[in-house]
Structure 1
Amino acid sequence: MTQRAGTEDAIVGAAGGADVPYRPDGLTAAEVAARVRRGEVNDVPVRSSRSVLDIVRGNVLTRFNAIIGLLWAVMLVVAPIQDSLFGFVIVANTGIGIVQELRAKRTLDSLAVIGEAKPTVRRGGEPVEVSVSEIVLGDLVELGPGDKVVVDGAVAESDSLEVDESLLTGEADPVLKKPGDPVMSGSFVVAGGGAFTATKVGREAYAAQLAEEASRFTLVHSELRSGISTILKYVTWMMVPTATALIVSQLVVKDTDLKDSVARTVGGIVPMIPEGLVLLTSVAFAIGVIRLGRRQCLVQELPAIEGLARVDVVCLDKTGTLTEGGMDVAELRPLDGFDEAYVRKVLGAVGDSDPRPNASLQAVIDAYPDTDDWRCTEALPFSSARKYSGATFSEGDGQSSSWLLGAPDVLLPDGDPALAETDSLNRRGMRVLLLARVTGELDDPKTPGTARAAALVVLEQRLRPDASDTLAYFADQDVAAKVISGDNAVSVGAVAAKLDLPGADRPVDARHLPERPEEMARALEEGVVFGRVTPQQKRDMVGALQSRGHTVAMTGDGVNDVLALKDADIGVSMGSGSEATRAVAQIVLLDNSFATLPHVVAEGRRVIGNITRVATLFLTKTAYSVLLAVLVVVAQVEYPFLPRHLTLLSTLTIGVPAFFLALAPNKERAQPHFVRRVMRYALPAGLIAAAATFTSYLLAGHHYSGPGALEAETSAATLTLFLVSLWVLAIIARPYTWWRVVLVAAMGGAFLLVLVVPWLQEFFALRLVGTTMPWAAAGIAVAGAALLEVAWRWVERRVPA
């Protein structure tokens, strides 16, 4: 029975808040308006994305933007506008990054509004759904299974109310709440129902602040972004001493024109900075969010796109994932002489006793509506840990009876004849509930031992039409699918078999799984379908798989999935799932389509694979820039390039190609060790490019003399560096498709255009003098390209990924 706080009693600061009286009918409209005027409203803005100010600040106020901005200002003063082009490019790129992230923000925010659960509050005696931000101090908030406690408060009504506070305390065992007990935001209901009075709203609720902080847009916990940060840190350490030595060399050691020396010094420093790499990563993530948003997929944390691409085991909850949420009663089989008409009346009364029925009980309610002849005197809500619910009734003739409805293999002893009948139905993929009459207290663990079987309720589950294709996709991508369910193992196996899941014919009863993590992990790797799994077991199974080095994704929609979703590397919730599952999941499928998951995986693989490609381009440039600067300092010669030359080279061999490559389709499976994978290619490529370029520059220095010699030497070195860099691009662009070939050819054609059009020659200060040295420069580039091929193939064979 529901326990209520006395109307004359006050809930005095039970949750550390104000003294708020218990009002069975809730607040009136006038009282709500008065509280809003006083600011006693839950106005904490829960954001799924960064604010506009944060986006602008994050894209503009960076360490490298500051360095480039300073160098740009210097170049605007001492050199022609051609040598300041790099600054305009950075401004344009930063603008693109801001625009794309703002688009992603709009997508995230709109989806978050769609996916936001609305708690039910009682106002003027009527239940009303409101947004979380509209709750005011003193509101009476109703609770049911799966509901999240959205503000701090104190229990006013309790109907066997059990609250899971694991997200706050770490303790997995649910806590039975009675009137006057505190409830904290961030906890959620696992069984029973009731209501609580809001005693802390807005920023006063500490747990609400934690929830807001945890739900904000984040770019952390991503191997991709942390790897880029690591790279940038090392680049900074290398850049500072190298740039200092270059400055001294060009301004002090060489007795040349001051402005020309400054220009060449800046030309040596700017290409050391892989600025566009950070930008392209942000743009790739942002476009990924927009693409998935069009598929009604809410990505609550952007790294989840990357994380799901790295997943090699996906744990699927059967109900709501492989099957649709609803079920139908296919058959009713009375047992032990019970009359079918009487059983139907019992089922109607049991269904009416639970104000928040799950899918199974809803099917019973739809099939057997209550006649209101019986009065419920005690109710035991369904718990996924118990696997049954119950109710006690005062029948019309004054007699009293108690009933349990739940899993036959939990309520009946081994060897009971009804279990054989149940197994037969389970093998056909049916879900079976047992209605049993019992004696004793409903919440007594010994009560099921008194059960007398009254009927089997046979439920037919609706398979998702897209589930089979989705499972086939995961199998094709070498992602192991594990079906983990609280239902009977044989029944779950039969459902999985209908979806052609390999191994579904060998279901495992989780009650027989070993408890030791290493043994459990071994059993999980061997098995595919697991039934009778408790919520705590789901969590343990995720941990056991992770202990074997697996990256685990968990899907689910019920309260029993919350703990596993929270511990999994990636949690995926259905949009129709409980509020608690949506709160802890990184990805919410708002359209409840399991078939959206392959698109999320594909988007993550596109981001990771393509950023790995373009990162190699950027860091090859950084490597050859640093090495060229070192060689210039050692040889005591002018730096071979002006900023305009490297702006041209970077645009044609990195900037434009990287944009197309970063957004192209990519189905390669994500690999770990991002930094190592990138650097094993970038370092040898940078070394070869620098050596070939400097060789060409020194030969040109001996070949040319007199006025204009330095420009001719620079042109020869530029030709060599472009050709070698173009071959790096050609390698990165593999495997070739028609558009990749066109892309590489177009970049080569653009450079050729600069060499043959007079005004472009003058603008970029590029003039190939004679035929001997230009052909020699091209020959050196060909030798460099050959060395690149050898180095690339050697790295592929010898260096582990």
Structure 2
Amino acid sequence: MEEKLWHTLPANEALKQLNSSVSGLSTDEAHIRQSAYGRNVLPAKHRLTLFEIILHQFLSPLIYVLLMAAVVSVVLEEYSDAGFILLVLVINAVIGTFQEWKAESKASALQEMIRLKTKVKRDGKVSLLDSEALVPGDIVMLESGDKVPADIRIVKENNLTAEEAILTGESMAVSKDAEAVVQGRAPVSEQMNMLFAGTTITTGRGTGLIVSTGSSTEIGKIASSLEQLSTGKAPLVKRMEIFTKRISLFILSACLILGVVAYYGGFPVREIFFFIVAMAVSAIPEGLPIAMTVALSIGASRMAKRSVIIRKLTAVEGLGSCTFIATDKTGTLTVDQQTARAILTEQGKNFRITGEGYNGDGVVMDNLNREVTCHKDEVLTRIARAIVICNEGWLEHENGNWNYGGDPIDVAMLALSFKLKTSPEKILKEVEKVMEVPFESERKYSLVYYKDQGKLRVAIKGAIEKLREGIDKKKYDQVMQEAMRYAEEGFRIIAVGGGEVDEIKPMDELPRFELLGFVALIDPLRPEARPAVEECHQAGVEVAMITGDHPATALAIAKEVGIAYGSDSLISGEEFQQVVDSGGELFSKVLENKRIYSRVSPHQKQIIVQALRESGQFIAVTGDGVNDAPALKTANIGVAMGYGTDVAKDTASIIISDNNFASIAAGIEEGRYTYSNLRKIIYLLVSTGAAEILMIGMSLAFQLPLPFLPVQLLWLNLVTNGIQDVALAFEAGEKIVMRQPPRKPTETIFNQLMIRQTLVSALVISLLTFGLWYHLLTHLNWDEPKARNIILLLMVLLQNFHALNCRSETTSIFKLPFRNNKVLIFGIIAAQTIHIIAMDVPFMQELLALAPVSWADWLKLFLTASIILATMEIFKVISFKVNKKQVNKKWYL
């Protein structure tokens, strides 16, 4: 359909444009139009099949290297080597597939699968149809609580309001007007004569003309545009790609150099070739894919327990890498429920109210912090009765749960009445309602005439400026100044009045009444939000708020949560657009200094996120609405809220099931723990692989026989790294990670600390093994098989001790309780036991050229191997002292 600005047309003109009428379409015409326009469904994201998830496990540079090694092994008829590598790849694929399939299933379970039914006029009759069958030109009827099935030009309405946060980010319901005609390309938030697909009717009733369905709706346009956006790579993926290239190049170069040295040392070419292949297979960290997948799976499971659902394993570490969080306000930092925070009576008394949300949990307190109930204050009693009588909502406590319905302000007022220790049900039984004037956007107030003890009374609530004609001017002026102070801080101000009247006035005429006071309401901050923001700041992660709400409301929440403390940190969408249009240095300064963005459009939010990414930030963006989806996809890490729209959840790589910003802080912590464990795994694999290469290089340099047979190298890789690297993934996190700044986006896995500790540990292990190898062959004149048996056992012991070093790069092993990783302790004992058994089993003796050793010899080797533990403890102390000016002073714990 040609795009039309339906909000610029009167309702009757819109009907003409679509060849429709208030009686609706005929069934035949509706079928013809559905053939032309298609079904009323959004473009659905392709759901990964099981085969696609399995295939995804093999799309990694490290996997490619291992596959090449397996092919070479097959060509050389080394089928055991090839089988071992393929077994590693299969186990990795099984673990990764299981985790990602489970995550995908959890994400799907969060989605609402209800098929909407809508009242539609067809053939002049009202019927209930599946919303997918709706077409442009249909006439639909909606009422409070209904989900809007398509974009609709309102034809007729009565007290109609809609909650449009998923498109605008605005937490308050929007009043609608069928008679309004809005000029120009007005934003969605200003189209008062339109309803939009995916939004919800809050109050009233309405009849409307469907003007757009499916992909042509506002929500559909956003969903379709996501296909054109590219998703940023997870930080871990970038770092692993660099690591894989470098480690592969290093191992290949080392093997070639050792091959050349061996050739000139007189070794047979065939023997050199087989040995180089075995050494390459051994040195390549083929256990890394499994260990990495296990570490990410453990991280995902730990995150799930903290309400963070990971849809893609590589995103586990993503939150831990982020340097900047752009969060929305409604429902993430706030509870997304209007709550009364203060009462100001006309006598000037000020009362503070505790508790959040649509429930009676909380109290009313005076300026001396004493709890006050309506039984102790006459004016509070009158206010409580007025807000209960003049109310169209409902709130009840049943079976331990609070259930509610109706306009958010009405429900919030009922919650206040419970905190005042009244019974709304009892109050309503004591009075007889005579006439009700419902709230409408033009009036901005509602009132009820009622009889109480035979007298005619009125209860009224609404906007102060609209009620001034019914209030004594002197009293109005007295309270207005205080009310405006609250309004400037982002509160919504509702005046409450009542009193005895002589007669019922016409519908649009205000009676004289007594102003009782006003109630200040706001969507309050989640109790956990401020500590979570403080934790992010402590961890060096900047936090900004991007919201569609009013600037005053955004600033008030930002101050309370600790994101910013002054209006100089705030910029509105209109001001931001002027900056975007001007470009240059001013735009960079806005990104650097502003932390509150209010009244921003979806496109502006995407511009902010894209600019922050380009400035070098690793940015995580939260969102729940369709309007958030482009920004979620543009971000390095998209974080959707569990209650949010399907479009947002499909776009994001992480879902916060409890919709709480505190869970994002928990995700950062778990992400850093996971990355720390991945570094420990890589440290173990690379340092032990480097030690083996150095040991062999030293033997060749001193013209000694090769210290290991090819099959022994593979066995060494299996019995040590094959167990301990996976076990390191279970290491409990060190709390210090949340007191350190985030890693620089340009930092690789092999930073200065990793390089130093890898070189030192590899050198110590290789010197110890080569020293004993040299001593056994030249001084004690042992034969090669017997010496290899001893050297292999020493290497197993050294790598087992070194696994303990790898539990922390900075903290003393004697400060880490064994209970923090029982799996590793069991793995070390198991590895040593397996090797000792292999030394005593005839079949394994023959296969690996092993022989038993005495307990005395084992103890000597055990003590020798412990040197690596002592050496790395000294290394940690020295490293701390050298770097104490650059790192946290509690680094060495």
Select which of 216, 220, 239 maps to 2:251.
Answer: 239
Q: Deviations over 1:131-175 (max 9, x none)?
A: 9xx577759799999x99999x897989999999999xxxx9936
Mapping 1:261-280, distance limit 5 Å: 261-280=272-291
Aligned residues of 2:24 and 2:121 also touching (Cα < 8 A): yes
What whole-Å deviation, never above 9, does each CA across 1:225-283 have from its counterpart, x for those lacking one? 2111111011222233334445566689745494x555422221102322332343334
Matches within 5 A, 1:503-582: 508=565, 510=567, 534-535=599-600, 572=639, 574-576=641-643
- 1:711 alignment partner in structure 2: 785
The answer to whether 1:688 aligns with 2:735 is: no
The residue matched to 1:275 in structure 2 has which SS?
coil
Which of 316, 319, 324 does residue 335 from structure 2 map onto? 324
Structure 2 vs 1, CA of residues 658 and 365 (structure 1 numbering), >3 Å: closer, same or farther? same
Aligned match of 1:55: 53
For the residues of structure 2 that align with 1:681 and 1:3, how far apart are their CA atoms? 74
Q: Distance in 2 between matches of 1:646 and 1:595?
A: 48
Verify the 8 A CA contact 2:334 2:524 in the aligned structure 1.
yes
Please list the CA deviations of residues 349-400 of structure 1 after superposition, one character each: whole Å capped at 9, or x if unmatched: 999xxxx998447647999999997799x958xxxxxxxx96999xxxxxxx
Q: 1:774 to 1:43 in 2, by over 3 A?
A: same
1:691 Cα shift? 4.1
Checking the alignment, whether the CA contact within 8 Å between 2:691 and 2:765 is kept in structure 1 is: yes
The counterpart of 1:174, out of the listed 187, 192, 196, is 187
Q: 1:142 to 1:213 in 2, by over 3 A?
A: farther
Distance 2:623 2:41 in 1: 29
Q: Does 1:737 align with 2:748?
A: no
Given the alignment, which residue of 105, 109, 120 partners 1:107?
A: 105
Please say which of residues 103-112 and 21-30 is displaced more in the overlay.
Answer: 21-30
Give the structure 1 partner of residue 483 of structure 2.
Answer: 422
Report what 1:412 is aligned to.
none
Distance in 2 (CA, whole Å) between partners of 1:255 and 1:697 is: 19
Which of 819, 827, 831 is the aligned partner of 1:747?
Answer: 831
CA distance in 2 between counterparts of 1:699 and 1:680 reads 28
Q: CA deviation at 1:725?
A: 2.2
- Scaled by the length of structure 2, the TM-score of the pair is 0.60
Relative to structure 1, the CA distance from residue 549 to residue 53 in structure 2 (aligned partners, 3 Å threshold; closer, same or farther) is closer
Corresponding residue of 1:727:
801
How far 1:611 moved relative to its partner? 1.1
Distance (Å, rounded) in 1 between the aligned partners of 2:854 and 2:389: 101
CA contact (8 A) 2:723 2:827 kept: no
CA contact (8 A) 2:624 2:644 kept: yes
Pair 1:197-2:192 in alignment: no
Distance 2:312 2:72 in 1: 40
- Aligned 8 A contact 2:490 2:552 in 1: no
Deviation at 1:65, TM superposition (A): 4.1
| Alpha-carbon separation, structure 1, partners of 2:569 and 2:272 | 77
Structure 1 residues 182 and 251, CA gap change in structure 2 (3 angstroms): farther
CA shift at 1:596, angstroms? 3.9
Structure 2 residue 309 is the aligned partner of structure 1 residue 225? no
Match of 1:762 among 843, 846, 866: 846
- Deviation of the 1:187 alpha carbon: 13
Superposed, which structure 2 residues align to 1:240-255 within 5 Å? 240-246=252-258, 254-255=266-267
> For residue 309 of structure 1, what is the aligned residue in structure 2?
320
User: Which sections of structure 1, spanning at least 5 residues, go unmatched?
Assistant: 12-19, 381-388, 394-402, 409-414, 437-452
Give the aligned residue type for 2:521: L
The aligned amino acid for 1:4 is A
Counterpart for residue 446 of structure 1 = none
Aligned equivalents of 2:877 and 2:127: distance in 1?
69
User: Contact 1:307–1:570 (CA<8 Å) still a contact in 2?
Assistant: yes
Note the 1:16-415 alignment, pairs <5 A: 25=24, 31=30, 35=34, 42=41, 44-47=43-46, 50-60=48-58, 62-69=60-67, 71-72=69-70, 75=73, 86-87=84-85, 89-114=87-112, 123-124=120-121, 138=136, 174=187, 196-198=211-213, 200=215, 208-212=223-227, 221-246=233-258, 254-256=266-268, 258=270, 261-293=272-304, 297-299=308-310, 305-310=316-321, 320-321=331-332, 323-327=334-338, 359-360=408-409, 363=412
- How many residue pairs get matched? 723
1:607 lines up with 2:669 in the alignment: no
Structure 2 residue aligned with 1:433:
493
Identity %: 20
- Report if the CA contact (8 A) 2:719-2:831 is conserved: yes
SS class of match (2:335):
strand
Instruction: Give the CA deviation at 1:33.
Output: 11
- The 3 A distance-change label for structure 1 pair 788 and 292 is closer
State how far apart, in whole Å, the 1-side matches of 2:588 and 2:246 are: 39
Distance 1:560 1:710 in 2: 71
Shift of 1:640: 3.2
- Mark the CA change 1:546 to 1:704 in structure 2 (over 3 Å): closer, same or farther: same
Change (3 A) 1:776 1:574: closer
| Distance in 2, Cα, partners of 1:212 & 1:265 | 47
Residues 187 and 468 (structure 1 numbering): CA distance in 2 closer, same or farther, change over 3 Å? closer
Sort the Cα spacing of 1:26 and 1:582 in 2 relative to 1 into closer, same or farther, 3 A.
farther
Further displaced range: 120-129 or 607-616: 120-129
Provide structure 2 residue ranges, at least 5 long, that are not aligned to the other structure: 1-6, 170-184, 349-381, 395-404, 418-423, 448-461, 468-475, 497-514, 576-585, 888-893
| In structure 2, distance between residues paired with 1:650 and 1:405 | 77
Moved more, 324-333 or 649-658: 324-333
- TM-score, normalised to structure 1, is 0.66
> In 1, distance between residues paired with 2:32 and 2:728?
55
Q: How many angstroms apart in 1 are the aligned matches of 2:245 and 2:683?
A: 16
Superposition CA RMSD, Å: 6.7
Query: Residues 520 and 7 (structure 1 numbering): CA distance in 2 closer, same or farther, change over 3 Å?
Result: closer
SS for the counterpart of 1:326 is: coil
The one-letter code of the counterpart of 1:46 is K
- Distance in 1 between the 2:659 and 2:167 partners? 27
Per the alignment, do residues 306 and 54 of structure 1 end up closer, same or farther by CA in structure 2, a change over 3 Å counting? Answer: same
CA contact (8 A) 1:271 1:646 kept: yes
For 1:316 and 1:34, locate their aligned partners in 2 and report how far apart those are by CA, in whole Å: 41
> Is the 1:228–1:278 Cα contact (8 Å) retained in structure 2?
no
The 2-side partners of 1:345 and 1:120 are apart by: 33
Query: Contact conserved, 1:430 with 1:460, CA < 8 A, in 2?
Result: yes
Are 1:632 and 1:639, in contact at CA under 8 Å, matched by a contact in 2?
A: yes
Letter in 2 for 1:241: S
Question: In the superposition, relative to structure 1, how do residues 555 and 166 fare at CA in structure 2: closer, same or farther (>3 Å)?
Answer: closer
Distance, in Å, in 2 between the alignment partners of 1:276 and 1:328 is 54
- Seen in structure 2, the aligned counterparts of structure 1 residues 242 and 588 have a Cα distance that, compared at 3 Å, is closer
Q: Is 1:702–2:778 an aligned residue pair?
A: yes
| 1:164 and 1:174 in contact (8 A); partners too | no
| Structure 1 residues 108 and 281: CA distance shift in structure 2, 3 A | farther
Aligned to 1:400: none
C-alpha displacement of 1:662: 1.0
Q: Which moved more, 1:59-68 or 1:467-476?
A: 467-476
- Distance across 2 between alignment mates of 1:571 and 1:149: 26
CA gap 1:155/1:246 in 2 versus in 1, 3 angstroms: farther
Greater mean alpha carbon deviation, residues 751-760 or residues 646-655:
751-760
CA separation in 1, counterparts of 2:336 and 2:862?
A: 66
Range moving further from structure 2, 323-332 or 611-620: 323-332
Contact 1:407 1:434 in 2 (8 A): no
